Amino acid sequence: MHTLNLISSSHVTFSKSTHQYYPIKRIQNPKTFTYPPAFLNKSTPHSRKVCNFHKIHCYPFGKIQGLGIKRTLFSYIDENPSRKPGSHIPRSAAASESNPEREAEAAEVAAKSKAKTLQLALVFGFWYFQNIVFNIYNKKALNVFPFPWLLASFQLFAGCIWMFVLWSLKLQPCPKITKPFIIALLGPALFHTIGHISACVSFSKVAVSFTHVIKSSEPVFSVVFSSFLGDTYPLKVWLSIVPIVLGCSLAAITEVSFNFQGLWGALISNVGFVLRNIYSKKSLQNFKEVNGLNLYGWISILSLLYLFPVAVIVEGSQWVQGYHKAVETVGKASTFYIWVLLSGIFYHLYNQSSYQALDEISPLTFSVGNTMKRVVVIVSTVLVFRNPVRPLNALGSGIAILGTFLYSQATAKKKSAGGEKKS
C-alpha cells in the first residue's frame, strides 16, 4: 500500500467541488504549483517545474477532467442567463412545434392538387361527352339529310352565333380586330374549311368509326409535310407512324361500309387540318395575345364565309327536296331540327373544350387525351349505330390508335429535347 507524505510547504490546493457525483470538478493551472511534492519530482524536490500530475491512484487525469467538466442542460442555463427563453430547446423540439404550420401548408397544397385534378377531369369529361354527342347527332342528321355541305355550314354558323353571344355578354373578352390579324387568319381558316367539309363528306358516306380510324392517321401527314418544309424528326417518330399506316390499311380493307368517297374525305380532312396547324404556327406568331378560344371563333367566322357560297353552288338546288324527304323519314320536323341543332352546338363546344384543355395541360397529355377520345368515340358510335365490326377490322383500328399513341410519346420527347437545347 502506498502512502503519500506531502511536504508541508507545498501549495497544492484543491477546490471544493459542489458536483453531486464527481468530487473533482476543476484542477488549478499547474503553473500555480510552486513546490511540487518530492515523489513527483525525483531529481530536484524543490525545483520550480511544471507539475506533471497525470495519475493519481492509477486514474488518468484526462478521465477525471472529463468527468469534472461534465455539464447538464440546467447548469448551462444557469451559467448563461442572458440566453432568450426557449433558445435551449433542441431543434427537433422546435421543429415539432412548427409542424402544425407545415401540415396546414401541405393540406393546402393537397387541396389545390385535388381541385386541379377535378378540373382536368371535368374538362376531359366534357370534351369526350360533347364529341360523342356531336358524332351521334351529326350522323343521324346525315342519314336522313345527306347534304354535308349545308350541314357543315350550319355547324360553323352555330359556332359563330355562340361566340357572338359570349362576346356581347362579356363572358369572353373580344380580341382587337386589325387588318394584319384578318390577313394572317385567311390561310388557317381556308385549311380549316377544307378539313371540316371533307370530314363531313366522309361521315355521310361511311360509318363514323371508320372515319375516325382513318383520321387517326393525321400524324403521318404531319410528319411528311413538316419534313418537306425543313423540320427534322428522330427515328422513333418515323417508326411510330408505321403501325398507323398498317392499322389504317387493315381497317380499310376489312371495313364493311367501305366507300372510296368516305376514305378520300377522311384523308383530305387530315391534310387540311395538318396544313392549318403548320400555317397557323407561321402566320400567327405575332398574335400570341389572342387566346385559343377567340382564335377558333374567328377561324369559324372566316370558314363560314369560305364554305357557304360553295355549298350553295354544289348542292343548293337539292336542299328543299332533301328537307321534305328528311322530315318524312323522321316523322316529325321538330326531331330533325333538334338533331341538326345539337350537331351544330356540340361541334363548336367540343372544339372549345379542346382549346381549353390545351390551355390547362401539356401537349403530351393533350395528345394522349385526343388519342383516347377517338377510342371512346369509335366504341360509342359502334354501340349506338350497331355497326358490324369484323375481328380484323377491330385489330387494324387498335394498331392504328396504338401507333398514334406512340407518335404522341415520340414527338413529346423531341419537343422536350429541343426545349432543353434552347435553354
pLDDT tens track for 264-283: 999 999 999 989 888 888 88
With vertex at residue 138, the alpha carbon angle to CA 135 and CA 141, rounded to the nearest 5 degrees, is: 150
Evaluate whether residue 200 is within a structural domain: yes
Evaluate whether residue 237 is within a structural domain: yes
Which domain does 335 fall in, by range?
123-414
CA dihedral angle for residue 354, residue 358, residue 364, residue 369, rounded to 10 degrees? -30
- CA–CA separation, 250 and 7 (whole Å): 115
Instruction: Encode pLDDT of 347-369 as tens digits.
Output: 999 888 887 776 666 666 776 77
What is the value of pTM for the model shown?
0.69
- The dihedrals phi and psi of 60, each to the nearest 5 degrees, come to -60, 145
Q: Which carries the bigger pLDDT value, residue 420 or residue 288?
A: 288
Evaluate whether residue 155 is within a structural domain: yes
Evaluate whether residue 281 is within a structural domain: yes
Nearest to 385 by CA among 128, 202, 266, 210: 210
Evaluate whether residue 197 is within a structural domain: yes
Evaluate whether residue 261 is within a structural domain: yes
Evaluate whether residue 66 is within a structural domain: no
Give the per-residue pLDDT at 318: 94
The residues, ordered by sequence, that sit 6+ positions from 275 with a Cβ below 8 Å of its Cβ are 191, 194, 225
Q: Mean of the pLDDT values across residues 62-89?
A: 48
Residue 155, pLDDT > 90, answer yes
Give the sign of the dihedral formed by CA 257, CA 259, CA 261, CA 266: positive
Q: Output the average pLDDT for the chain.
A: 77
CA dihedral angle for residue 218, residue 224, residue 228, residue 229, rounded to 10 degrees? 40
Instruction: Encode pLDDT of 157-207 as tens digits.
Output: 999 999 999 999 988 888 888 889 899 999 999 999 999 999 999 999 999
Total domain count for the chain? 1
Evaluate whether residue 45 is within a structural domain: no
- The dihedrals phi and psi of 234, each to the nearest 5 degrees, come to -70, 170
With vertex at residue 304, the alpha carbon angle to CA 299 and CA 306, rounded to the nearest 5 degrees, is: 95
Residue 420, pLDDT > 70, answer no
- CA–CA separation, 183 and 202 (whole Å): 30
Q: Render the burial of 247-283: b for 16+ CB within 10 Å, e for the rest.
A: bbebbbebbeebeeebbebbbbbbbbbbbbbbbbeeb
Give the sign of the dihedral formed by CA 400, CA 404, CA 407, CA 409: negative
Distances (CA, A) of 242 to 145, 220, 246: 37, 9, 6
Contact by Cβ (8 Å): 233, 227: yes
Distances (CA, A) of 397 to 129, 216, 392: 21, 9, 9
- CA–CA separation, 346 and 133 (whole Å): 7
Instruction: Encode pLDDT of 325-337 as tens digits.
Output: 999 999 999 999 9
